[in-house]
């Protein structure tokens, strides 16, 4: 990502040598691990507007309507250097070989890929997906950077928690490494939610409760929730051996830098 930002900042030098900066990024992985944050960080580093594609205003019910709206979207994006962000990209860039999809969807995907190819290099396109396996095979070739965003490792989670502790009025009385072990395999977003819950409870206690006690209480609640979820997902004996039955049950664009605009 640092290389891409440097290429964008020094694009004139690259163009003087007949090359263009990279400007298409595909991010894949489970939710809550920073895909949207990376797109926003690129816009911040380049000091350009950040546009998010709204599928509810983009996909039409009539033949050819979606392609018309896509054309308007890309025509607008070309007018200014910006970061164009497609969240949940699999909802529009899905595999064309899927027999369950209609011909209209296949035409939309083909048109979308053609439009992405035609974007100038000063428009940084970032696509994010939680289901990389659903993307059309041709989508992957369109993006110069293809980065996986998996769940954080134990070490990365501990670093993230320690950074949260730095903003607290006092140390929690437990190491970030120990807390990471107790929370288990979670996303950065879940870890942030946990830390914010602890901080809220400490604020509401008006400093009448120790931060360490609140943290211990929240860890116990977290652990019980995880156990309950695990038990609920495990099939019961009765469910695993069903009784016999006589009958068989048959974008518009949202702009995030102070103002918003919709097409």
Mean pLDDT within 203-224 = 90
Grade residue 254 by pLDDT with cuts at 50, 70 and 90. low
78 token code pair: 């070309």
**Range from 56-65, 105-114, 228-237 carrying the lowest mean pLDDT:** 228-237
Mean pLDDT within 114-133 = 94
Sign of CA dihedral 35, 39, 40, 46: positive
Listing from the earlier edge strand, what are the strands of the sheet with 252-255?
Answer: 145-148, 24-28, 123-129, 82-86, 50-54, 252-255
The residues near 181 (Cβ < 8 Å, ≥ 6 apart) are 154
Count CB-CB contacts under 10 A for residue 24: 20
pLDDT at 90 over 90: no
Count CB-CB contacts under 10 A for residue 116: 19
Tell me, what's the pLDDT at 230? 62
Do the beta carbons of residue 85 and residue 123 sit within 8 Å?
no
DSSP symbol at 135: B
pLDDT at 36 over 50: yes
Torsion over CA of 101, 102, 106 and 112, rounded to 10 degrees? -90
Grade residue 148 by pLDDT with cuts at 50, 70 and 90. very high
Pairing of β 252-255 and β 82-86: unpaired
Mean pLDDT within 55-84 = 85
Helix (H, G, I), strand (E, B) or coil at 19: coil
- Percent of the chain having pLDDT more than 70? 80
Grade residue 118 by pLDDT with cuts at 50, 70 and 90. very high
Grade residue 136 by pLDDT with cuts at 50, 70 and 90. confident
Mean pLDDT within 218-244 = 66
Q: Whole-angstrom Cα distance, residue 106 to residue 108?
A: 5
**More confident site: 255 or 27:** 27
Tell me, what's the pLDDT at 100? 55
pTM of the model: 0.78
Helical ranges in the chain per DSSP H: 2-9, 11-16, 35-46, 65-77, 103-118, 137-142, 154-166, 176-183, 188-204, 211-233, 237-240
Tell me, what's the pLDDT at 55? 81
Grade residue 171 by pLDDT with cuts at 50, 70 and 90. confident
Torsion over CA of 107, 108, 112 and 115, rounded to 10 degrees? 70
């Amino acid at each position: 990502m640092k290389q891409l930002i440097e290429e964008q900042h020094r694009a004139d030098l690259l163009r003087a040598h007949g090359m263009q900066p990279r400007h298409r990024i595909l991010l894949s992985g489970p939710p809550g691990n920073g895909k949207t944050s990376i797109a926003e960080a690129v816009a911040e580093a380049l000091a350009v507007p950040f546009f998010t594609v709204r599928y509810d205003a983009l996909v039409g019910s009539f033949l050819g309507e979606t392609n018309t709206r896509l054309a308007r979207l890309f025509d607008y994006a070309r007018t200014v250097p910006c970061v164009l962000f497609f969240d949940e990209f699999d909802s529009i860039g899905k595999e064309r070989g899927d027999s369950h999809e209609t011909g209209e969807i296949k035409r939309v995907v083909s048109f979308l890929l053609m439009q992405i190819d035609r974007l100038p290099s000063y428009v940084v396109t970032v696509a994010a997906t939680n289901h990389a396996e659903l993307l059309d095979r041709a989508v992957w070739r369109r993006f110069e950077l293809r980065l996986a965003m998996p769940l954080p490792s134990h070490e990365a989670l501990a670093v993230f928690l320690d950074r949260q502790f730095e903003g607290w009025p006092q140390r929690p009385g437990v190491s970030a490494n120990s807390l990471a072990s107790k929370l288990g395999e979670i996303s950065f977003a879940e870890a942030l939610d946990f830390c914010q819950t602890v901080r809220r409870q400490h604020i509401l206690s008006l400093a009448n409760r120790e931060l360490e006690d609140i943290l211990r209480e929240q860890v116990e609640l977290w652990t019980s929730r995880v156990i309950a979820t695990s038990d609920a997902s495990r099939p019961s004996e009765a469910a695993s051996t069903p009784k016999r039955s006589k009958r068989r049950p048959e974008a518009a664009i949202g702009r995030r830098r102070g103002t918003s605009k919709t097409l």
